[in-house]
Amino acid sequence: MLRFVQMHGHDHHGHSQDHGHAHKHKHGAGGHGHGGHSHGPLTFDRAFAIGITLNILFVIAEFGTGFVAHSVALMADAGHNLSDVLGLSVAWAGATLAKALPSKRFTYGLKASTILAALLNALLLLMAMGAIVFEAVMRIGQPSAVKGAVVVVVAAIGILVNAATAWLFARGQKSDINLRGAYLHMAADATVSAGVMLAGVAIWWSGAGWIDPVVSIVVAVIIFWQTWGLLRETIEMSLNAVPRAIDYDEVKAALTALPGVSAMHDLHIWPMSTTETVLTAHLVVRTDPGATLLADAATMLHQRFAIGHATIQIERDGSCGTDC
């Protein structure tokens, strides 16, 4: 839908020159298409609620059991599962906030709050993992007696909880990047819980208490690696960097290749939220671009690069004289 078209301006020689400024939003049936991704339908509210409840209950049970059984690995995994609660909450909040209408104060709505929440989650998780590693290192020299059987049972329950939560989002993860993130996170956590369970089996059979803190450090390192990537990406998004999934040069080449376009400048691409991307650009044309250029550009950006919010200004090339 063409929101606004304006013809105005002057060329560098002071002569009258036409400019077209058009704000394009790609619309789909029944609503807006934002960044090529659709937010989870209302039916996934129940999935979020069930997943968060299951993980909260499991975090409490796992941390308490780990404390009683002197298992740092269980407490570390509980910290990781707490990040699942935060991650699911952020995804749910993002889907909810994305429905909020823009205001005069927040003209994009509150979509960018998902970026801030992800950044906060990454920082909190890094601090929690640092504390767990410190405790584990202290216990390597003086390992406590660990009840291996208890570790095995609790970790096995963790596999079931994480796998069940991932299953809740299996249907939606193919069409929604928010749900895909939740799905992959929970599936990965089921694998981590399997590692903790194997450590419990090793302790059960060998009685070696040092296995538990070593496994907890390994788990913490894995989580740190994942979280560090999240932290870097959220910082980039907070600084309005081009989303990693989009190649700036490819977008520039695709816009320049549009029929009638001779050059372009002032190309800017930045994230509106964790799922939506905004683009602005000036396209220079030598001849009348026709009525379909803006629509063609918006369609191409949406289909090839999942950019659903594009503001494109058309400028006449002043060097082409009276032929324009």
* Structural domain contains residue 2: no
d(CA 182, CA 172): 10
Asked if residue 163 is part of any domain, the answer here is yes
Out of 238, 272, 295, a domain closes at 238
Q: What is the pLDDT at residue 321?
A: 47
Q: Are strands 261-271 and 277-285 parallel, antiparallel or unpaired?
A: antiparallel
According to the model, what pLDDT value does residue 15 have?
38
pLDDT of residue 3: 33
Q: Answer yes or no: is 61 within a domain.
A: yes
pLDDT at 225: 80
97 and 214: one domain? yes
Residue 66 placed within a domain? yes
What's 210's domain CATH number?
Answer: 1.20.1510.10
- Is 202 in the same domain as 277? no
In a domain, 268, yes or no: yes
Residues of the chain with pLDDT under 70: 1-43, 73, 141-148, 173-178, 181, 209, 318-324
Whether residue 79 is found in the same domain as residue 221: yes
- CA 174 to chain centroid, in Å, comes to 15
Pairing of strands 277-285, 309-316: parallel
CB within 8 A of 283, min separation 6: which ones?
A: 255, 258, 261, 263, 264, 289, 293, 297, 312, 313, 314, 315
Q: Which of 198, 218, 238 is the last residue of a domain?
A: 238
The whole domain housing 137 covers 43-238
How many domains are contained in the chain? Answer: 2
Half-sphere exposure of 6 (CA within 13 A, CB side): 8
Q: Tell me if the pTM is above 0.85.
A: no
Q: Is the domain of 233 the same as that of 249?
A: no
The predicted pLDDT at position 143 comes to 62
Verify that 159 and 276 share a domain, yes or no: no
Q: What's the pLDDT score for residue 221?
A: 84
